[in-house]
Amino acid sequence: MKPLHTSILILFLWGLNVLPVQADRMEKAPKSIEKLDVIEHLDTQLPLDLKFQDSSGKPVTLGDYFKKDRPVILSLNYSNCPMLCSLQLTALVRGLKELEWSADEQYDFVSVSIDPKETYQRANLTKQKYFKEYDRAGTAGGWHFLCGRQESIDKLADAMGVQYQYVAERQEYAHPAVLLVCTPDGRVSRYLYGINFPKQTLKLALVEASEGKIGSTVDRFLLFCFHYDADSGRYAPTARNIMKIGGFATVFILTVVLIPYWRGRKGRQALETGDALTHEIPQETRHFSAPEN
């Protein structure tokens, strides 16, 4: 389990518009969000039987989006969020647009509203907004915006380890900016925090979550060389694995390239030495005839 990053707490405040305008005015955070946290449940199985409603009004379960043998990006948002959800989802769309992979082909995106009063019509408007920003034809089937009852929302948030709170005086929800990248069978693979999702971070997270089912050999090689650094919010080189690769490369070069080269060189030197000695023997001593009786 992992405590919430300081940067995520800042985003809580930003989402509620309580950050001070002047740097020397640091106001105390509202009590309603002081205890909010993200507790990482890596490799935890999500409750796929939870019931929701999709943006067309159709009853669905969470498991309906984990039957396509591809990873799922999962998020808790709500359509009436004044700022944070829009910042997070816009940043995600921008990052995904840089990938050569497409929604509904290599991955799916599922956003579940934390507002039990949100209607499927409102969720559909939100879906259309971000699908339009994504601007990639034929991929609408990979974007899913769900709404549901409080019980299902709470059970999902608890399984995800994402805490949120309704702030009655502001009629808003305080919540973290965090995405979950999940395996095709519905387990939590990675948490991505903040409102910036670089191409490489998204790509490696999806490769990792897919367990090698998407991505090229090069992508899987890069994943071996990099690990996710939660403090920086991106994948960083891992010295141990890079050293392993360096050691393997050294052995490979010695075995496959240098040793045969050295052997060949020694063989050529031996032949050249033999030829040189042959040329140095006087002509009259090179040929022998049988002695006469």
Binding-site residue ranges for Cu cation: 81, 85, 175
For residue 65 the two structure tokens come to: 């989006």
The secondary structure of 157-226 as a DSSP string is HHHHTB--EEETTTTEEE---EEEEE-TTSBEEEEEESS---HHHHHHHHHHHHTTSSS-HHHHHHHHHE
Residue stretches of the annotated binding site: 81, 85, 175
Among 142, 146, 74, smallest CA distance to 108 is for: 142
Tell me the β-bridge partners of 117: none
SS3 129: helix
SS3 260: helix
